Amino acid sequence: MTGTNVLLMVNTRKIIPEKTVAALIKIFSEREVGIFAFDTAREIIERSGESRKVSFVSENDFPDDVSFAVVLGGDGSIIRAASILCRRDVPMVGVNFGAVGYLAELESENISELARILDGDYELDVRMMLDAEIRGAVGSIKKTLTALNDIVLSNGPVANLLSFDLFCDGVRLRNYRADGVIAATATGSTAYSLSAGGPILDPSLSAVCVTPICPHSLESRPAVLNGDSVIELCSIQCRKNSVYVTADGREGVRLEDGDTVKISKSSLTTRLIRLKSSGFLEVLRNKLTGPESELH
């Protein structure tokens, strides 16, 4: 790949061996690939002894001609990277240093496989994202959030009961009394939504899973909606008036009286580089149950 540039995105809160970082840089430098990394990773890269081969940039000012990114970390690192890369349409590949790693393509011992990207030996897995528009009482847009996993309406750090109406494509589905609600993509169905009792969806689906959090009704069940559906949360009430909307558990907005939340498919997508032939079901089996030998 002539003129290729790679962006290394390193979660500095993870324990990532310096020799792994050095080996990774060597893979690309030997193929004369331009290597960039964020300033926040400067220390760990300098400890690897290979910093002279890396150009350091800020998160808000990396080159437009980055071909792809390599993310060292867990699922949280990949989700955070998605929020940066989706706006530049830059694909990424994850190397897992976390506990689960649904989104990561490789484990640390397999980083030599990254050389295949330079030969074009890979596929792209395009994942749907969600936008959440927070609208004021007069209808003006106060803030827009974008998420790969989920948009969550909750009552903040203290568990106070919420009441809200949920509309889908203009049709009122029901009033919920719950600790909140999760609107998850198929990618996010194995994250917070799963913990709250939601179903597991194949990530290739264009769908939104609406999962109430600790609902105060036996009739409140998760619902899987078409990915093109427009979901609206209205008449939001909480005794303590501390209601928040968060995107991927990262960026949050506190709601005021009369605010509504409109959730819909984003025009942005996350592009994941795939090197392995194993599909979603095999990954799911391995992540949920571990190797078959451990089941006996």
Euclidean distance between the first and final Cα of the chain, in Å? 46
Whether 95 and 106 have beta carbons less than 8 Å apart is answered as yes
Angstrom distance (rounded) from CA 4 to CA 32: 8
Which two tokens mark 221?
């069940």
Among 130, 100, 266, residue whose Cα is nearest residue 210? 130
The total number of residues written for the chain in this structure? 296
Angstrom distance (rounded) from CA 284 to CA 275: 17
Which two tokens mark 177?
């009394």
3-state SS assignment for residue 123: strand
Which two tokens mark 153?
């309406």
Q: Which of 64, 75, 89, 228 is catalytic?
A: 75
Angstrom distance (rounded) from CA 58 to CA 49: 21
Angstrom distance (rounded) from CA 9 to CA 17: 15
3-state SS assignment for residue 12: coil
Angstrom distance (rounded) from CA 47 to CA 42: 9
Q: Look at phi and psi of residue 139 and say left if phi exceeds 0, alpha if psi is from -120 to 50, else beta.
A: left
Whether 252 and 261 have beta carbons less than 8 Å apart is answered as no
Whether 246 and 154 have beta carbons less than 8 Å apart is answered as yes
Known catalytic residue: 259? no
As annotated, the active-site residues are 75
